[in-house]
């Protein structure tokens, strides 16, 4: 079983920055892909970005050029650096991994971007 704990959310003005962290209970070097999703009020959960063990990344079109995902295998942590934040980035952000065929989610961290 993998426990994921997100942190770093908060209230920020448009144009500002935040860095989210996701600490995993397992050594993440054994987890092929780690991801960040988000869910805005009244909307479906959507993929924001993911990163493989070698460091290959994938981003949603809406965040390309503004968000950066990274992972520190030594600290069992994945990060999401968010810059140039927009009000439409307001959502609960969730860390996600699929490990041994099981989908694991953190409880989420709320990001609110004011205009």
Residue 29 scores a pLDDT above 80: no
d(CA 1, CA 101): 11
Binning pLDDT at 50, 70 and 90, where does residue 23 land? Answer: very high
- Which whole number is the average pLDDT over 79-99? 96
φ/ψ of 9, rounded to 5, equals -70, 170
**Cα separations in angstroms, 22 against 7, 14, 25, 34, 49:** 7, 23, 10, 10, 13
């Amino acid at each position: 079983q993998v426990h994921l704990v997100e942190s770093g959310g908060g209230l920020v003005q448009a144009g500002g920055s935040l860095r989210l962290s996701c600490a995993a209970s397992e050594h993440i070097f054994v987890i092929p892909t780690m991801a960040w999703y988000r869910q805005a009020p009244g909307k479906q959960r959507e993929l924001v970005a993911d990163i493989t063990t070698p460091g290959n990344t994938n981003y949603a079109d809406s965040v390309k050029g503004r968000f950066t995902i990274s992972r520190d295998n030594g600290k069992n942590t994945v990060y999401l650096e968010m810059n140039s934040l927009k009000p439409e980035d307001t959502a609960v952000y969730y860390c996600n991994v699929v490990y041994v065929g099981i989908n694991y989610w953190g409880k989420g961290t709320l990001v609110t971007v004011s205009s």
